[in-house]
Structure 1
Amino acid sequence: MKISRVEAVPFAIPYRKPLRFASGSVSDAEHVLVRVHTDDGLVGTAEAPPRPFTYGETQESIVAIVTTVFAPQIVGLSPLDREQVRVRLDRTVGNPTAKAAIDMALWDIVGQALGVPVTDLLGGFGDRMRVAHMVGFAEPAEMVAEAGRMQEQYGIATFKVKVGRRPIGLDVAACRALREAMPEAEIYIDGNRGWTPVESARALRALADLDLQFAEELCPADDVLGRRWLVTQSSVPIFADESAPTAGDVTRELLGGSATGISIKTARTGFTGSHRILAQCEGLGVEVVLGNQIDGQIGSLCSLAFGAAFEGTSRRAGELSNFLDMSDDLLAEPLEIRNGTVRVRQAPGLGIEIDEDKLRHYRTDAR
């Protein structure tokens, strides 16, 4: 079995409302569907979500790098040659979500070929995960109302609250309102690098009585000394996200004292890279959270397949519900969140079946 073709299809699906956070905002899911074809008819599928304000990738750049640079390097290889694929793709710097999508699509093919779910191939720890929902920038009452809807409709009891605005009092008020409305909920905050270290320390002091699970990426990734200082000031764990996109970055953040936990995102490091980062964190005794790249259902299904496979990623609720903010999606069988959890699909591979009519409707290249 050999890789015969690699397909990159850009598509755009509107969000029900713009998602706003400190590093930017999005009004449409302008993602790329990546499909790896084999000569015996198997097709591996994944999703690449560009985040130009974080990694520099755009929808156009992902399509270009996949079709003109990566595809020629891996066509003719076996889907089992994942390390050879990784080495070849890593000759090109950057482009994390494009590389990750190819990696996950290859795992999808292997699972299909063997007739087993990818979760079982990776580790087989569980068959479901608890879900955390991201609450974006809005007035405090609106943020509380959104969290309430998620709890009532889907049973979600863990919330990632976006912070990083100035003045910090608005975010403090939102977190307080959410805690008052949901005294039993698990709450953590994500600043997307929006505050300075001093502002971050101030905010954490103001939130000290809210029993936050942790705080994620509150200040700029390149503020090395400030980030280390913030860890010494914080009474809650500080998790690295955008500052730790590679295994080397994880080493720097943890051993340098700039973070005490790591967010793992399969959309950024695929299954192969994410597994290495998880093992690295486990070896150092560091906790992780399964993050989200504002993925659609395809990306969320990939994250779920990885997160449920390991005990380490299953301890905390995974960020698996951002697709609820989209007006539509491409899966023929939508993901379902029930009682605050989502189940792994038991089909071979990732269990992804694309609704081709929807893909034709939402794709943005020449039809």
Structure 2
Amino acid sequence: VMRRLRQTGRRDAPSTGPGGGAAPAAETDGEIVAVNGTLPACPPDHVESILSRYGQVSTVKAKVAEHGFASFEADLARLREFRRLCPDTTLRLDANAGYTPAEAVEVCSAFADFDLQYFEQPVPEVEQLAELREELARRGLPIVIAADESIRKAEDPLRVAELGAAEVIIVKVQPLGGIGAALDVISTSGLPAVVSSALESSVGLAAGAELAARLPRTDRSRDILGDRVACGLGTGRLFTADVVAEDEALTPIDGTIAVKRIVPDPDRLQQLAVDPGRYEWWAGRLQNCWNALRGSTELG
């Protein structure tokens, strides 16, 4: 990722304010960002209770392929129950690259009946995504393909656009190197983007919210994603604790979060501190990342 961004853009981190808090830009501070609910793999009779945690949301992302193609029938049953409960809610699917190309074609034929906004990363490789799109078009299946792992885990995050492998890209601030770097990927790819979480605390979610507020609004994006893009930043509800005070946590209220400055709470930081061995491991990892970034900049 960093090698390609040397050629096309910049690398940065979210802006910070006093005390280390992530500070939004003046033009985005206070904006409201729509977020999607998440429906994990679960029995159909759990769907309603899980969705109730999110309140009123306009969009839900359902996880599929937990065990690859072996989960197909269970996924179908869960999606049927979802559509029974939420006939008008926008639905996205995310397979986390869980299918082979042949399996992906088969499941797309069935999933097309659920009126999807997009299907995220059904197969692992960029080339497979491109071939899948061609096959879906040949069969007349109107399914939009989105790329996630092929963006954030790829050495070249722009190859998806170059091969026409997806119509939507999923961007995550931290894996791409910061808000500015993520905006560069979005701008250079020319594809509609959805901001998603990499399972961060509210500090990381604040950076994601700012990026979401700065997404380009294009006709192409509106055609696929609507006027208000629901982003995958509602993951604060998945955690039992956060590094900020409870009333400051970026947990969604009826499908939205606010763009705002986040400052970690010292007492929470102390309560959630890792053991010394784990601290040293993370400190070493951060040092290695810094060395790699510094070397990348010098080479560029």
Normalization by structure 1: what TM-score?
0.62
User: Partner of 2:129 in structure 1?
Assistant: 227
Which secondary structure does the structure 1 equivalent of 2:36 belong to? strand
Please state if 1:280 is matched with 2:188.
Answer: yes
The whole-number CA distance in structure 2 between the counterparts of 1:291 and 1:189 is 14
What does residue range 40-55 of structure 1 map to in structure 2 within 5 Å? Answer: none
Contact 2:237-2:251 at 8 Å conserved across structures = no
Please state if 1:119 is matched with 2:25.
Answer: yes
Shift in Å, 1:272 = 1.8
Please state if 1:159 is matched with 2:60.
Answer: yes
Please state if 1:139 is matched with 2:52.
Answer: no
Which secondary structure does the structure 1 equivalent of 2:117 belong to? coil
Which secondary structure does the structure 2 equivalent of 1:277 belong to? helix
- Change in Cα spacing, 1:267 to 1:235, as seen in structure 2 (3 Å) is same
What does residue range 201-220 of structure 1 map to in structure 2 within 5 Å? Answer: 201-220=105-124
Number of positions where the alignment pairs a residue of Structure 1 with one of Structure 2: 252
Shift in Å, 1:339 = 3.2
Shift in Å, 1:304 = 0.5
Contact 2:199-2:235 at 8 Å conserved across structures = yes
Which secondary structure does the structure 1 equivalent of 2:51 belong to? helix
Q: Which has the higher contact order (CA 8 A, sep 6+)?
A: 2
Percentage of matched positions with identical amino acids = 24
Contact 2:170-2:194 at 8 Å conserved across structures = yes
Contact 1:294-1:322 at 8 Å conserved across structures = yes
- Change in Cα spacing, 1:356 to 1:272, as seen in structure 2 (3 Å) is same
Which secondary structure does the structure 2 equivalent of 1:103 belong to? coil
- Change in Cα spacing, 1:329 to 1:275, as seen in structure 2 (3 Å) is same
Shift in Å, 1:142 = 1.7
Shift in Å, 1:344 = 1.4
The structure that is strand-richer by fraction is 1
The whole-number CA distance in structure 1 between the counterparts of 2:193 and 2:256 is 18
Shift in Å, 1:159 = 0.9
- Change in Cα spacing, 1:168 to 1:246, as seen in structure 2 (3 Å) is closer
The whole-number CA distance in structure 2 between the counterparts of 1:126 and 1:228 is 39
Shift in Å, 1:248 = 6.8
What does residue range 53-64 of structure 1 map to in structure 2 within 5 Å? Answer: none
What does residue range 1-367 of structure 1 map to in structure 2 within 5 Å? Answer: 103-104=13-14, 107-109=15-17, 117-120=23-26, 124=28, 127-151=31-55, 155-164=56-65, 165=67, 166-221=70-125, 224=127, 226-232=128-134, 233=136, 234-245=141-152, 249-269=156-176, 270-281=178-189, 284=190, 286-312=191-217, 315-332=228-245, 333-345=248-260, 351-366=261-276
Structure 1 unaligned segments of length 5 or more: list them. 1-54, 56-85, 91-99, 346-350
The whole-number CA distance in structure 1 between the counterparts of 2:168 and 2:214 is 19
Which secondary structure does the structure 1 equivalent of 2:268 belong to? helix
Range that drifts further, 161-170 or 124-133: 124-133
For the aligned residue pairs, the C-alpha RMSD in angstroms reads 3.0
The whole-number CA distance in structure 1 between the counterparts of 2:111 and 2:154 is 31
Shift in Å, 1:328 = 1.1
The whole-number CA distance in structure 2 between the counterparts of 1:221 and 1:159 is 25
Structure 1 residue identity aligned to 2:122 = L
Contact 1:119-1:306 at 8 Å conserved across structures = no
Structure 1 residue identity aligned to 2:144 = P
Shift in Å, 1:227 = 2.2
Shift in Å, 1:247 = 8.8
The whole-number CA distance in structure 2 between the counterparts of 1:317 and 1:124 is 16
Contact 2:54-2:252 at 8 Å conserved across structures = no
Structure 2 unaligned segments of length 5 or more: list them. 222-226, 280-300
Structure 1 residue identity aligned to 2:143 = V
Deviations 1:231-267 (A, max 9, x none): 1215211111111127973321122132221001112
Which secondary structure does the structure 2 equivalent of 1:303 belong to? helix
Contact 2:194-2:230 at 8 Å conserved across structures = yes
The whole-number CA distance in structure 2 between the counterparts of 1:145 and 1:204 is 27
Which secondary structure does the structure 2 equivalent of 1:354 belong to? coil
The whole-number CA distance in structure 2 between the counterparts of 1:148 and 1:204 is 28
